[in-house]
Amino acid sequence: MSNEKKTIVIVDDDVDYLTILKMQVEKMGFNVVYAHTQKDGEKLLETIKPDLAIFDLMMENQDSGFILSYKLKKQYPDVPVIIATAVTASTGIEFGIETQEDRTWIKADKYLEKGLRPDQLHREINKLLKL
């Protein structure tokens, strides 16, 4: 395995949450590249192949995270994607990616509610990156 730092892309329109998440992920030893909007995230993914991506679900569109995930997986099917969202807390609507049907249309490898402890997030990232 390479000693080179893995790069994680984070796209989230909540500047405070993004700043905290960026610091946490960098503290875990990863490089972080980030964007604040779906549009900027799409541009970013045209220039970089990350080792893993973390997308907010609802940004300028209610399905921004799904769109980013779909576009990333179409270009790089092997890159793990985490959808991190507060949609259940905000709307009361619950969903996930437990079933094969869910995973067919939600092109993400993991769905996490925001507010996850850093150690839990670190475990999930390591699992997806097989570290």
> What is the CATH number for 27?
3.40.50.2300
Instruction: List, for residues 69-96, the tens digit of each pLDDT value.
Output: 999 999 999 999 999 887 544 445 555 5
Return the bridge partners of 10, or none. 34, 54
99 located within any domain: yes
- 33 forms bridges with which residues in the sheet? 9
* 109 in any annotated domain: yes
Residue 110 CB contacts under 8 Å (≥ 6 apart), including other chains? 80, 81, 82, 83, 97, 124, 128
Tell me the residue range of the domain where 98 lies: 7-119
pLDDT of residue 99: 54
pLDDT confidence of 100, banded at 50, 70, 90?
low
List of residues 6+ apart from 101 with CB closer than 8 A: none
Alpha-carbon distance of 31 to 22, in angstroms, equals 9
- pLDDT score recorded for residue 89: 46
Number of domains the chain is built from: 1
pLDDT in tens, 39-71: 999 999 999 999 999 999 888 877 888 899 999
Give pTM, 2 decimals: 0.84
Does position 125 have pLDDT exceeding 80, yes or no? yes
Q: What's the mean pLDDT in 99-116?
A: 69
Decide if 64 is inside a domain: yes
